[in-house]
Amino acid sequence: MTNSLASQAGAVRLRPGKRERLVAAAIRLLHEQGSERTTLADIAKEADVPAGNVYYYFKTKDEVIAAAIDAHAHQIKATLTAIEGRHRSPKSRLKALVRELGGQSDLVAQYGCPLGSLCSELDKRGPASGLDVAVLMRLPVDWAQEQFRALGRRDARDLAFDLLAAYEGSALLANTLHDPAVLTSAAKRIEKWIDTL
């Protein structure tokens, strides 16, 4: 999302636009600092955008957060589509998802799961906030359910919840203990569990 766009020749790199930089900065700061501590001024500074320009794109911090949620959702969909393109069997797809999630163990140990932390924090605001953060959990759960169903499992929904709960619980422990090995080990155990199904 925030990678530079290359020209056709590939030699010239263009800087992402201000809106894209603001959203990328919001994603990073929301993960590292949380939504309560992150201000629009912080986001503007991180994005290298004059503070006054932020209001051209986003009137409130919640609008920036909504854009960050949307960007996360697009990234999840892109990741799941890429996994489907690289792996033929449902088991190999599920294990690829686990490897993808476990591959961020250092970052998770430092700041927590980018999705789980955001969901947990924003959920405390209640439904009145109007932020549909639950989509960040529904997308991988629904996708995992499809994979388990393709394995012929009638308990596909339960298994999808078990998979995501095992990851999120391990991510919480890895962050609390500041130990990436907790998540790495959990990912290996989850892969073995998938093999038993």
Q: Return the CATH number at 73.
A: 1.10.357.10
> Which range marks the domain in which residue 178 is found?
11-196
- Give the model's pLDDT for residue 99: 97
The alpha-helical segments, DSSP class H, found in the chain are 18-33, 40-47, 51-57, 61-86, 90-102, 105-111, 114-123, 135-150, 156-177, 180-196
99 part of a folded domain: yes
110 part of a folded domain: yes
> Which residues have C-beta within 8 Å of that of residue 15, sequence separation ≥ 6?
4, 21
- Give the model's pLDDT for residue 5: 30
- Give the model's pLDDT for residue 47: 97
- Give the model's pLDDT for residue 14: 65
Contact predicate 5/13, CB 8 Å? yes
Residue 113 identity: C
Nearest-angstrom CA–CA distance, 63 and 66: 5
Provide block-wise average pLDDT over 10 residues at a time, the chain (197 residues): 34 75 97 96 96 93 96 98 97 98 96 96 82 94 98 98 98 98 97 96
Which pTM was predicted? 0.88
* Nearest alpha carbon to residue 176 among 130, 109, 124, 113: 109
2 part of a folded domain: no
3 part of a folded domain: no
Residue 126, Cα to own-chain centre: how many angstroms?
21
- Counting the structural domains of the chain, the total is 1
- Give the model's pLDDT for residue 13: 56
The sign of the torsion formed by the CA atoms of 166, 169, 175, 181 equals negative
